Amino acid sequence: MQKSFLLNAKTRTETGKQVANLRKQGLLPAVIYGHNLATKSLTLNTTEVDKILRQISESDLVDLVIDNKKPLKVLFHEISRDPLTEKIIHIDFYQVRMDEKIETEIELNFIGEAPAVKDLGAILVKTLDHIEVECLPGDLISRLDVDLSLLSAIGSIIRAKDLKIPTNITLLTDQETPVVLAEEPKKEETPVAAPTQEELVPKEVTEAEIEKIETEETKGDK
């Protein structure tokens, strides 16, 4: 069962350059859209949003209270951040219907230790940090555990189909997609020895070698 998270919002009328002023006041612009719902502009308290985002994952439902009305079940659909400061500058919420399946993502939580890494020196390579699924909103889970102890040999792979997904959740990610693997460590190349000083200095040509060269040249002239 999912935890209950409550977030308050107000209808927003400010647009354009006025939105920048809202951020200076500690308010965060947002929009909400979804099933049979016209897109609505909102503002939220930035501190409150930061606090709740530290507690939830992408697949957690949130009770969004707009203008003190009845809560709406929503997902954080998209979070936009400033590329320099990483501060949140805008949020898109998606309203869900509890009786209608949705497509979303579930975060992967890697647990345990891989024997192939611990005992055989393999390199652990994670290729996915979430999977795509379809289910009813009420069946969503915050994260899905991936047991690394299954990687017992070099070359071992845990694929999407190997994950223990609840029966009420349908996997949309390709079942053969690797999630994590124990890769053989790269062999270190033997460095090529630098030439010695003797090898760099040209060898002296002996008188016999000079005589041989002159003889070959004389034959060529005939």
The CATH number assigned to the domain holding 153 equals 2.170.120.20
Q: Are residues 122 and 66 in the same domain?
A: no
Return the residue matching tokens 């994260």. 143
pLDDT at site 198 = 59
Q: Which token pair is 208?
A: 């016999």
pLDDT at site 29 = 94
Is pLDDT above 70 for 194? no
Cα gap 59→169, rounded to integer Å = 12
Cα gap 7→45, rounded to integer Å = 9
Q: Would residue 149 count as lying in a domain?
A: yes
* Residues of the chain above pLDDT 70, percent: 83
Q: Which token pair is 168?
A: 């009420």
pLDDT at site 186 = 78
- Domain end residue (candidates: 55, 70, 97): 97
Q: Would residue 199 count as lying in a domain?
A: no
Q: Are residues 107 and 90 in the same domain?
A: no
Q: Which token pair is 147?
A: 């047991």
Q: Would residue 17 count as lying in a domain?
A: yes
pLDDT at site 217 = 56
Q: Which token pair is 1?
A: 């069962």
Kind plus residue range of the DSSP H or E element containing 51: helix 46-53
Position 16 confidence tier, pLDDT thresholds 50, 70, 90: confident
Give the domain extent around 122: 103-183
Give the CA-trace dihedral at 157, 160, 161, 165, to 10 degrees: 130
Cα gap 194→162, rounded to integer Å = 50
Is pLDDT above 70 for 163? yes
What's the domain count of the chain?
A: 2
Question: At CA 87, angle to CA 81 and CA 92, rounded to 5?
Answer: 45
Q: Would residue 67 count as lying in a domain?
A: yes
- CATH number of 56's domain: 2.40.240.10
Q: Are residues 78 and 13 in the same domain?
A: yes
| Edge-to-edge strand list for the sheet holding 130-135 | 143-147, 102-111, 130-135, 170-171
Q: Would residue 214 count as lying in a domain?
A: no
Q: What is the distance, to the nearest Å, from the Cα of residue 82 to the centroid of all Cα atoms in its chain? A: 18
